[in-house]
Amino acid sequence: MDRILKALQEGKEQKPQKFEQLKKLLYIEPFTTKEYSDKLGLGLDFKGNTTLNRTQDFVVRAYVVNSNPIEIRRAIYLRLEALLPGENAFSQVNSIPQIIQINEYQESNDGLNFTYRAFPELTSFRDLKRVGTVVLRLKATDGQYTWTSKNLTLNVTNSPPVLSDLSIEAPNPTRYNDPITYVANVTDANGDAVNVTLHILDEKGSERSNATQMVTSGQRVQFMASQYGFFNKDDAGKNFTYYYSFGDGINVSVTGIQKGPQLKKSTAIWVGRPKVTPEDQNQYWWQSYNFSLEMKNQEPEDAQVQVSLYLDTKAHPWRAIASQNVVLSGNPKAVYFLVKPFDVLDANQSFRYKFEYSEYDQNQRDHIEQDAQAPLSAKLVRYDTISALSLGNVAAILLLAFVLGLLLERRFYR
Amino acid sequence: MNLLGHDIFEAYMLICLVAILLLGGTLHVMYLKMIESMVLRTEESDFNLGDLMRSMHISQGSNFNIMMILSWSLLFVALAFLYLLTPSIFPEWNYFKIPRVASLDWGFAIFGVAALIPGALISIFVPKVYSYYLIHKRLKAIAAATPVLLLGSIICSMHLGIIYPTSNPFFWNLGYMMLAAAAVLMILPISIGFLEAWRQ
């Protein structure tokens, strides 16, 4: 026996052709007994609605009924095949066939040998690039016979992305060089990444520029005008519109045309000499202060500008004090704010003040800041000890205490 | 000297003031106990303390009652003004930390009225306490100086608030002395009553 084996090994290495001939000569065709049944029950088991969303999870199983007794049964090889939308031929879902061994059947009450096989390779159509009808079928073989199941037809749908809360975040009125941001909320029920393109239209409705961003579902898409260079000085005074086109790779949608931004006509102003003049050199907190600023329009026509005054103290950081609209011409004009802006907490503190204006100045800034030359006086109370107000305060306390005493005595001790 | 941001001298002085008031309360309780034990010694039959207190009641007159309610109410105002008006004693808790009130012309009056409320609540019970003592007319006349002293203390404290951040220890000491004198006068009827009972 050893000698035969050794001769065969040598023959395989030295005379492969002869070895192949010998193999063919000795090959025995697979055979089955006469009792072997070539009928196999084969079906696809799918629970739930056959119209389903791409991301919806499901379980598809093979149901196999083998009527042969275990003694003559053969192993069954199972393949799941799918015909995807837009394709002409079935493709194999499980690259490695599932094998049902001869002893892997259960016996039902009516004597049928059956088994189920799930396919973990197919639990959803998440990665489907096109939606529509998907046909599934099973192919089984025992090496001699081949069986094919009935087709299972599924209708696969996609949830298109949604763009909501479209708006433009910008100061009002909006200047061409203000921070202008187009924002919208992006949602996709399937959790797909959404490709969003912003289209900006000019006054004639023609597209003048666009920009694209890839956004994941649930995020806010933001297009900053300054980042993409949407507007320039020549656009001042023009009205623009915009819309979005967006898609998840399957569905592509377009929003309606939205208004905005309406860019304000640009004005170049000149500002200078910010100044604060206290009512008294002692700079008490209770006094009036005159805050002033010189302003003019650098262009010949009149321009309406809003000017606001802000004060910064330790107790009240950058508090808005007052605001006014001024008309600026080519001649310099002093803008005044005569106010009593401080309270007792500001006593003995230094302060800063700021004028904010609705147009850009000669330095392309919309505000000018200045430090006060001296801190406020530390004195907290504005009147003297011997004064009507001081005595009035004492008299008020005394009077109320006396009235209280009178009332309590009458109420509880009479 | 400073302790946790508070002036230790002024803190000690506050303890002295509280001690005077507590002494008054203690003497009052001891006085009642003493009377009770005296009655027990002389009267063998059972008696009710409530009945005894009712029998001890002496009406001091409306004027005296009003004056003592006024004095006890002003005591709280004077205390608040002396200790809580300027940031020099309690830098974190003082009148100037309430800028909306402190910025008003009538801020001192508002602050005073706020301090008056707890004072008035306590002073409701004051005439009842004095009603257990036999207070002579002369003592009542002396006690009439109490609201004047308290008013003087309030004015001294207000002056310190007005001149702040400048300080003047003389006015603080004067205000304190007036307040302490007023407190002593307020517990004087109780102390005298206690001493008289103790002698017997």
A363: CATH: 2.60.40.10
Specify the pLDDT at position B5.
46
Residue B6 has pLDDT above 90, yes or no: no
Specify the pLDDT at position A223.
96
Q: Are residues A44 and A153 in the same domain?
A: yes
Specify the pLDDT at position A23.
85
Residue A189 has pLDDT above 50, yes or no: yes
What average pLDDT does this structure show over A343-371? 90
Please check whether residue A166 lies inside any domain of the structure: yes
pTM, two decimal places: 0.55
How many Å apart are CA B117 and CA B109, to the nearest integer?
13
Of A345, A381, A405, the CB nearest to B161: A381
β-bridge mates for residue A328, sequence order = A303
Show residues of chain B in contact with A378, CB under 8 Å: 165
Please check whether residue A13 lies inside any domain of the structure: yes
Place of tokens 């001149």: B163
Q: Does B165 touch chain A (CB under 8 A)?
A: yes
Please check whether residue A378 lies inside any domain of the structure: no
Q: DSSP code of A234?
A: G
What CATH number should be reported for the domain holding residue A57? 2.60.40.3880
Q: Are strands A181-187 and A146-148 parallel, antiparallel or unpaired?
A: unpaired
Specify the pLDDT at position A299.
79
Specify the pLDDT at position B7.
60
Specify the pLDDT at position B78.
94
Please check whether residue A230 lies inside any domain of the structure: yes
Please check whether residue A207 lies inside any domain of the structure: yes
Residue B3 has pLDDT above 50, yes or no: no
Q: Are strands A60-66 and A113-118 parallel, antiparallel or unpaired?
A: antiparallel
Specify the pLDDT at position B121.
85
The two three-digit tokens of residue A313, written as one number: 């103290």
Which of A343, A380, A390 to probe the B interface (max B CBs under 10 A)?
Answer: A380
What confidence category does residue A365 fall into, taking pLDDT thresholds of 50, 70 and 90?
Answer: confident
How many distinct structural domains can be found in chain A?
A: 5
Q: Are residues A291 and A335 in the same domain?
A: yes
A346 and A284 Cβ atoms separated by less than 8 Å: no
What confidence category does residue B45 fall into, taking pLDDT thresholds of 50, 70 and 90?
Answer: low
Higher pLDDT, A79 or B130: A79
What confidence category does residue B43 fall into, taking pLDDT thresholds of 50, 70 and 90?
Answer: low
Q: Are residues A300 and A356 in the same domain?
A: yes
**Smallest Cα distance from A313 to chain B, Å:** 14
What average pLDDT does this structure show over A54-70? 92
Show residues of chain B in contact with A407, CB under 8 Å: none
Q: Does B83 touch chain A (CB under 8 A)?
A: no
Please say which residue of A142, A157, A172 terminates a domain: A157
Residue A333 is inside which H or E element, if any? Answer: strand A333-339
What average pLDDT does this structure show over B176-187? 93
How many Å apart are CA A239 and CA A235, to the nearest integer?
8
Using a CB–CB cut-off of 8 Å, the residues of A that contact B are 285-286, 315, 343-345, 348, 378-385, 389-390, 392-394, 396-398, 400-402, 404-406, 408-409, 412-414
CA dist A78 → A138, A140, A248 (Å): 7, 5, 35
- Domain segments of chain B as ranges: 2-199
A244 and A321 Cβ atoms separated by less than 8 Å: no
Q: Are residues A83 and A192 in the same domain?
A: no
CA dist A193 → A126, A222, A247, A253, B107 (Å): 13, 15, 9, 14, 63
Q: Are residues A24 and A48 in the same domain?
A: no
How many Å apart are CA A353 and CA A342, to the nearest integer?
12
Least confident of A280-294, A340-354, B35-49: B35-49
CA-based nearest residue to A84, from A124, A132, A43, A127: A132
Show residues of chain A in contact with B63, CB under 8 Å: none
What confidence category does residue B4 fall into, taking pLDDT thresholds of 50, 70 and 90?
Answer: very low
What confidence category does residue A261 fall into, taking pLDDT thresholds of 50, 70 and 90?
Answer: very high
Residue A355 has pLDDT above 90, yes or no: yes
The two three-digit tokens of residue A85, written as one number: 């939308």
Say what percent of chain A tops pLDDT 70: 99
Please check whether residue A287 lies inside any domain of the structure: yes
Please check whether residue A321 lies inside any domain of the structure: yes
Q: Are residues A62 and A134 in the same domain?
A: yes
- Domain of residue A11, residue span: 1-30
What confidence category does residue A31 fall into, taking pLDDT thresholds of 50, 70 and 90?
Answer: low
Higher pLDDT, A224 or B31: A224
Say what percent of chain A tops pLDDT 90: 61
CA-based nearest residue to B139, from B193, B85, B176, B103: B193
CA dist A113 → A103, A106, A147, A305, B101 (Å): 10, 5, 17, 91, 93
What confidence category does residue A325 fall into, taking pLDDT thresholds of 50, 70 and 90?
Answer: very high
Identify the closest residue of chain A to B67 by CA–CA distance. A405
Residue A156 is inside which H or E element, if any? Answer: strand A152-157
Q: Cis check for the bond before A317: say yes or no (omega within 30 of 0).
A: no
Specify the pLDDT at position B1.
40
How many Å apart are CA A365 and CA A229, to the nearest integer?
19
Cβ atoms within 10 A of the Cβ of A125, count?
Answer: 21
Residue B200 has pLDDT above 80, yes or no: no
Percent of residues in chain A assigned helix, strand, coil, to nearest 5: 15, 40, 45
| CB contact (8 A) between residue B106 and residue A384 | no
| CB contact (8 A) between residue A381 and residue B109 | no
How many Å apart are CA A201 and CA A212, to the nearest integer?
15
Specify the pLDDT at position A239.
93
Greatest Cα pair distance, chain A, in angstroms, is 138
Specify the pLDDT at position A412.
81
Show residues of chain A in contact with B116, CB under 8 Å: 397, 400-401, 404
Specify the pLDDT at position B56.
76
Show residues of chain B in contact with A381, CB under 8 Å: 161-162, 164
The two three-digit tokens of residue A226, written as one number: 């300054």
How many Å apart are CA B115 and CA B109, to the nearest integer?
10
What average pLDDT does this structure show over B102-131? 87
Please check whether residue A376 lies inside any domain of the structure: no
How many Å apart are CA B168 and CA B88, to the nearest integer?
11
| CB contact (8 A) between residue A401 and residue B105 | no
Identify the closest residue of chain A to B107 by CA–CA distance. A393
